[in-house]
Amino acid sequence: MKLIAFIILLNSTIISFAQQPTKTAVASKEAAIVEELSLSAADIELFKEQTKQKVEEFQQHIVTIGSKDQPAEKRNMAEREALKLFYVGAEMQTSVINAAGETTIQSRPMEKYLARLKSLPYTAVVIKFYDLVYISSFTKGPDGRYYSSATVLQEFTGFTGDNVAYKDVTKKEIEIVIDLVEDKFFNEKKWKVFLGNIKATETRGA
């Protein structure tokens, strides 16, 4: 009797173990799900339009943050709204041309860049953006996200009194990320466009 009970218990354990998915099987299933969550050509075109809108929104915030004529409350709000456009951990490259004509490039976390922009040692700062130059095609990365880049031209002018103390034009390349994020309101995942790292690819005096 004990032998029969032991055999039944052993068989149950084997069946139960066989029904448990292995880590490899789970990983393969997750990878398959990511692969299935692909964007259609129509989706990509829609996100290109959203990319333009987000880049333009960021440009407007930059102009407001840099302007010392704007009230502090408005500049602070623009700073907060600008950060919402970015992927966590995004960085900004800034470039400066010295008296010898050499260009120095430095990277800062986006929140530090925006805070520094508000406190630049000029009596006035004017930032202008030219039209969006180019948005590259979106490609799907191994992490399931989609990546692209947008290129813009930024003109920066810093004044001391009524005189121009510094001025340059910089070509900036903005990383674009489309990620699947949890929408807590609808309790589902949705694709969303984020801005990522911004590189200063070319700077010239103006």
Residue 1, pLDDT above cutoff 80: no
What confidence score (pLDDT) does residue 132 get?
64
CA terminus-to-terminus distance, the chain? 95
Residue 16: count of CB within 10 angstroms of its CB:
9
CATH of 40-205, one of 1.25.40, 3.10.450, 2.30.30, 1.10.10: 3.10.450
pLDDT digit string (tens) for 87-135? 999 999 999 998 888 999 999 999 999 999 999 999 999 999 886 667 8
Higher pLDDT, 111 or 21: 111
* Least confident stretch, 32-46, 66-80, 108-122, 186-200: 32-46
Scan for tokens 């000029």, then name that residue. Answer: 122
Per-residue pLDDT band for 46 (boundaries 50, 70, 90) equals: confident
Residue 26, pLDDT above cutoff 80: no
Among 196, 195, 200, 115, smallest CA distance to 156 is for 200
DSSP state of 178: E
Higher pLDDT, 33 or 194: 194
* Least confident stretch, 96-105, 139-148, 176-185: 176-185
Which residue ranges make up each domain of the chain? Answer: 1-36, 40-205
Give the integer Cα–Cα distance in Å for 205 and 138.
Answer: 32
The pTM (predicted TM-score) of the whole model is: 0.76
